[in-house]
Amino acid sequence: MLREVAADIAPADFAEARRACQPIVLRGAASALPVTQAAVGVESLCRYLRGFDNGRTAQAFVGDPAIGGRYAYGDQPDGFNFSRETLGLGAALDRIARAAADPHQPSVYCGSLPAEDHLPGFAEANPMALVPEGMLPRLWIGNASTIACHYDRFDNLACVIAGERRFTLYPPDAIGDLYVGPIDHTMAGQPVSLAATAASQDPRYPRFAAARALALTVTLHPGDALYLPKLWWHQVEATAPFNLLMNYWWDDFASGPDSPYTALLLAMTTLAERPPAERAAWRAFFDHYAFRPDGHPLAHLPPERHGILADSRENRGRIRAFVMQLLRGG
């Protein structure tokens, strides 16, 4: 069951709640924002957004009415069931509004638009106190759509501004039962689950039943928000003819300039094809030094003898420099 907290939770209390790395629903957290207030109708919302539009173009997904807004892999030459077009925000809004009024029109979806690039002044006019200072919003605008089940490498606060969003969530450890597609041939940067959008009991994905049993579903209305920790899988359905979501991404627990994903990629290239017994040996070392189920690996020594494993920015920098030297063949 998803945890819900009050929309007026103090930022410090919300930061503490995030340490559990579990999704959190915040009903009404974005309801007082000017953009949400403007979203009483398609025309008024479009007028509000055009007031910030600087004319910069972005890539949009355009789907035939037959796909029903389910952007996914397909039989097109590029392997997807939709096309991509470069549109200015004003033109995209016009086409989204037309498709909202006429379901026979191609659907349009513009995702992950950085507000500071396309709508200068928007972030300042719509501040969100619950995110860390300096984090800026992105906008996701379109017709009814289903975005395939994927994960993000950053923590995420997603705020519904117009329409409704239905999120279906799976925990990170469901990855083996989700039948994930390629990591380098993706729709929008992240690999997706092939099983989550397949027909029920598809024989190609027998293990998906275990993931389905773990699924959490929540519907967000205008003004509602959802905190998603990094690596949580999520399928997102925008169910109204015209939808707008605003989100923020950040790394809540960064301890340096590098992402854990970088370590994962390097581990795949160095460990995946080694014999099972050697992989098991390296797993023990990763657990001991990186995942630390039994605590700090040098807890049996006084802190002043922890050397480079003492927790400090300087020591993390030394380890990073050593790794860079190794990668350069030094």
Is pLDDT at 184 greater than 80 in this prediction? yes
Across 264-280, average pLDDT: 96
Q: Which residues pair with 139 in a beta bridge?
A: 113, 246
**What pairs with residue 216 in β-bridges?**
169
Cβ atoms of 226 and 158 within 8 Å: the answer is yes
Q: 86 near 60, Cβ under 8 Å?
A: yes
CA-based radius of gyration for the chain: 22
Asked whether 240 and 29 are in contact (CB, 8 A), the reply is no
Global confidence as pTM = 0.91
| Mean pLDDT of all residues belonging to the chain | 94
**Token pair listed for 59:** 């890539």
Binned at pLDDT 50, 70 and 90, residue 69 comes out as confident
pLDDT tops 90 at residue 74: no
Task: Using DSSP, state whether 115 is helix, strand or coil.
Answer: helix
Q: Are 1 and 194 in contact (CB under 8 A)?
A: no
* pLDDT above 60: residue 288: yes
pLDDT of residue 53: 97
Which residue, chain included where needed, has tokens 């939808």?
243
Within 10 A of 49 (CB to CB), how many other CB atoms are there? 22
The confidence score (pLDDT) of residue 67 equals: 87
Q: Residue 187: pLDDT above 70?
A: no
Q: How confident is the model at residue 188 (pLDDT cuts 50, 70, 90)?
A: low
Per residue in 226-236, pLDDT tens? Answer: 999 999 999 99
Mean pLDDT to the nearest integer, 3-29: 96
Query: What is the separation, in whole angstroms, between the first and last Cα of the chain?
Result: 51
How far is Cα 153 from Cα 239, in angstroms, rounded to an integer? 25
Give the per-residue pLDDT at 2.
Answer: 93
3-state secondary structure at position 155: strand
For 142, the token pair is 């379109």
The pLDDT score that the predictor gives to residue 256 is 85
**What stretches of the chain show up as alpha helix (H) in DSSP?**
11-18, 34-38, 42-50, 89-101, 115-118, 122-125, 208-212, 260-271, 276-286, 313-327
**Rounded-to-integer distance, Cα 234 and Cα 252, Å:** 19
**DSSP secondary structure letter of residue 192:** B
- CA-CA-CA-CA torsion sign (96, 98, 100, 103): negative
| Least reliable range by pLDDT among 54-58, 95-99, 197-201 | 197-201
d(CA 223, CA 163) in angstroms, rounded, equals: 10
